[in-house]
């Protein structure tokens, strides 16, 4: 029997603290109108002092678990896409696994910057498709506000904090809801265009390196539009689909101008493109799962819809995926009761 992974639960969490463009005017030399014109962002969420990537990820995970109608101890694996874990180790995924009570699950992180969620989702889908796992929790979570240079108006206006999560569940190939097309790519020669140093970076005599986001915005814009469109086109071809078959595109929410340019180049009307960058800014690995959960909440997805994910980030890394939406709710919730800690 050939297995396939499908999404059966979604969840999201964003902090309560809202940082508006008007507030940013008091922190750095910029204006609300300039930010809105250049990025499409009006506000972003900032984690409270007690919140971390893993605590936000755990809350998004709980909501995804409730959405699927399953128990946490029926999850076999937790994968978290993040570039801002609570610390170098243990993995944020391990902290999330403990916080939600996924007592039978393995756990590890994937760091591919803004491509983290798609990389984690593709990894989880392979565990399911090979039969190695029956249920996988995939989380995208970031606390970017703690590595933003609040004196750099070119970057500090862009980023926010939050988390999103999905439940992947084993199904039979050919059943509704399969993940159809996938492409992951990277060009490490361009790593200097978007990066953040850390405590293990090459030592510089007399200097202590700080983990701050560094970005060549113009170069990133040029690469992002071209490479996301190329990936989207390729995965559609692999899936035997056309742009007309896509009910909703959920691109990485980095910048409204990038999203609009991608839409125009693909010939995909903006009414079929999900946008929430205006409210949350760029939450890196969390943008796509947050948007997916919101799209489900707003009734913008129905069973049988083909949904296109496309993302781009540091690495440089980029990729795309097509899924068939089957609706939330586990078909196996009754057939496979939750295991106990003594099982």
Euclidean distance between CA atoms 66 and 8, whole angstroms: 10
146: domain CATH number?
3.40.47.10
Nearest-CA neighbor of 155 among 209, 218, 202, 111?
Answer: 218
Nearest-CA neighbor of 289 among 334, 256, 316, 321?
Answer: 321
User: In a structure prediction context, what are the per-residue pLDDT tens digits for the chain, which is 343 residues long?
Assistant: 567 899 999 999 999 999 999 999 999 999 999 999 999 999 999 999 999 999 999 999 999 999 999 999 999 999 999 999 999 999 999 999 999 999 999 999 999 999 999 999 999 999 999 999 999 999 999 999 999 999 999 999 999 999 999 999 998 766 767 787 899 999 999 999 988 988 777 766 655 567 899 898 888 988 999 999 999 999 999 999 999 999 999 999 999 999 999 999 999 999 999 999 999 999 999 999 999 999 999 999 999 999 999 999 999 999 999 999 999 998 765 444 444 433 3
Euclidean distance between CA atoms 167 and 133, whole angstroms: 12
SS3 assignment, position 159: strand
Interior CA angle at 325 toward 319 and 331, to 5°?
125
Tell me what pLDDT residue 334 has.
41
Q: Which domain holds residue 5?
A: 1-343
Nearest-CA neighbor of 11 among 333, 248, 294?
Answer: 294
Q: In the numeric block, which tokens belong to residue 57? A: 């990820």
E-assigned strands of the chain?
Answer: 3-13, 17-20, 43-46, 77-81, 106-110, 135-143, 161-172, 179-186, 194-196, 213-215, 246-251, 306-313, 317-324
Tell me what pLDDT residue 337 has.
44
Q: Examine the residue annotation and report whether 229 is marked as an active-site residue of this protein.
A: no
Q: Examine the residue annotation and report whether 50 is marked as an active-site residue of this protein.
A: no
Beta-strand pair 17-20/179-186: unpaired
The catalytically annotated residue of 114, 180, 223, 306 is 114
Q: How many separate domains does the chain show?
A: 1
Please say whether the beta carbons of 224 and 254 come within 8 A.
yes
- Going 284 to 121 to 245 to 266, the CA torsion angle's sign is positive
Q: Examine the residue annotation and report whether 282 is marked as an active-site residue of this protein.
A: yes
The catalytically annotated residue of 156, 180, 282, 306 is 282
Please say whether the beta carbons of 64 and 166 come within 8 A.
yes
The catalytically annotated residue of 104, 252, 255, 306 is 252
Q: Is the pTM of this model over 0.85?
A: yes
């Amino acid at each position: 029997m050939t297995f396939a992974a499908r999404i059966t639960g979604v969840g999201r969490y964003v902090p309560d603290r809202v940082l508006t463009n008007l507030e940013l005017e008091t922190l750095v030399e910029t204006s609300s109108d300039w930010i809105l014109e250049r990025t499409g962002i009006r506000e972003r969420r900032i984690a409270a002092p007690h919140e971390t990537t893993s605590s936000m990820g755990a809350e998004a995970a709980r909501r995804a678990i409730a959405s699927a109608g399953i128990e946490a101890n029926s999850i076999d694996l937790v994968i978290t896409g993040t570039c801002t874990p609570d610390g170098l180790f243990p993995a944020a995924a391990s902290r999330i696994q403990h916080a939600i009570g996924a007592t039978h699950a393995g756990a590890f992180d994937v760091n591919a910057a803004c491509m983290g969620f798609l990389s984690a989702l593709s990894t989880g889908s392979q565990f399911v498709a090979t039969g190695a796992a029956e249920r996988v929790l995939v989380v995208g979570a970031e606390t970017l506000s703690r590595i933003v240079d609040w004196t750099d108006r070119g970057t500090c206006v862009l980023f926010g904090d939050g988390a999103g999560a999905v439940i992947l569940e084993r199904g039979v190939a050919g059943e509704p809801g399969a993940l159809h097309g996938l492409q992951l790519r990277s060009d490490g020669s361009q790593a200097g265009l978007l990066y953040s140093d850390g405590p293990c970076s090459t030592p510089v005599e007399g200097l202590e390196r700080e983990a701050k986001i560094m970005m060549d915005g113009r170069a990133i814009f040029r690469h992002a539009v071209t490479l996301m469109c190329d990936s989207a086109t390729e995965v559609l071809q692999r899936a035997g689909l056309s742009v007309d078959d896509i009910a909703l595109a959920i691109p990485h929410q980095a910048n409204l101008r990038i999203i609009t340019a991608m839409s125009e180049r693909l010939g995909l009307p903006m009414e079929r493109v999900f946008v929430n960058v205006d409210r949350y800014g760029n939450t890196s690995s969390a943008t796509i799962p947050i948007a997916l959960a919101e799209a489900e909440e707003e009734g913008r997805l129905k069973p049988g819809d083909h949904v296109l994910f496309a993302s781009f980030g540091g690495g440089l890394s980029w990729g795309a995926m097509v899924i068939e939406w089957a609706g939330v709710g586990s078909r196996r919730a009754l057939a496979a009761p939750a295991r106990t800690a003594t099982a």
